[in-house]
Amino acid sequence: MDAGLLNELVRARAEKRALVLATRLTDGIQKLVYPSDKSQESWLINAIHEVLSSDKGAVVTAPDGTEWFLNPFNPPLRLILVGAVHIAQPLAEIAALTGYDVTLVDPRTSFASAERFPGMTLMTDWPDEAMTALAPDTRTAIVTLTHDPKLDDPALKAALASPAFYIGALGSKKTHAARVARLAEAGFAESDIARIHGPVGLGIGAKSPAEIAISIMAEITETLRT
Ramachandran assignment for 62, one of left (phi > 0), alpha (psi -120 to 50 degrees), beta (any other): beta
How far is Cα 43 from Cα 78, in angstroms, rounded to an integer? 29
* Neighbour-count burial of 180, counting CB atoms closer than 10 A to its CB (0-12 exposed, 13-18 middle, 19+ buried): middle
How far is Cα 169 from Cα 85, in angstroms, rounded to an integer? 13
Give residue 64's pLDDT: 93
Q: What is the CA radius of gyration of the chain?
A: 20
Strands 196-197 and 166-169: parallel
Confidence of residue 54 (pLDDT cuts 50, 70, 90): confident
**pLDDT one-digit tens code per residue, 154-165:** 999 999 999 999
Give residue 2's pLDDT: 83
How far is Cα 223 from Cα 200, in angstroms, rounded to an integer? 12
pLDDT at 225 over 90: no
Give residue 138's pLDDT: 87
Q: How far is CA 210 from CA 65, 90, 93, 148, 192, in A?
A: 52, 6, 10, 21, 29
**pLDDT one-digit tens code per residue, 86-133:** 999 999 999 999 999 999 999 999 999 999 999 999 999 999 999 999
CA 90 to mean position of chain CA atoms: 18
> Across 35-185, where does the E strand assignment appear?
58-61, 67-73, 78-82, 101-105, 121-123, 140-144, 166-169
SS3 content of the chain, % helix, strand, coil (to 5): 40, 20, 40
Q: Is the dihedral of CA 116, 163, 62, 58 positive or negative?
A: positive
pTM of this structure: 0.84
**pLDDT one-digit tens code per residue, 74-86:** 989 999 999 999 9
Give residue 216's pLDDT: 97
Q: What is the mean pLDDT of the chain?
A: 94
For 187, phi then psi, to 5°, come to 105, 5
* Neighbour-count burial of 156, counting CB atoms closer than 10 A to its CB (0-12 exposed, 13-18 middle, 19+ buried): buried
User: What type of residue sits at position 21?
Assistant: L
Who's near 220: CB < 8 A, 6+ residues apart?
79, 95, 141, 143, 166, 168
Instruction: Check residues 14 and 32 and name the one with the higher pLDDT.
Output: 32
pLDDT at 13 over 90: no
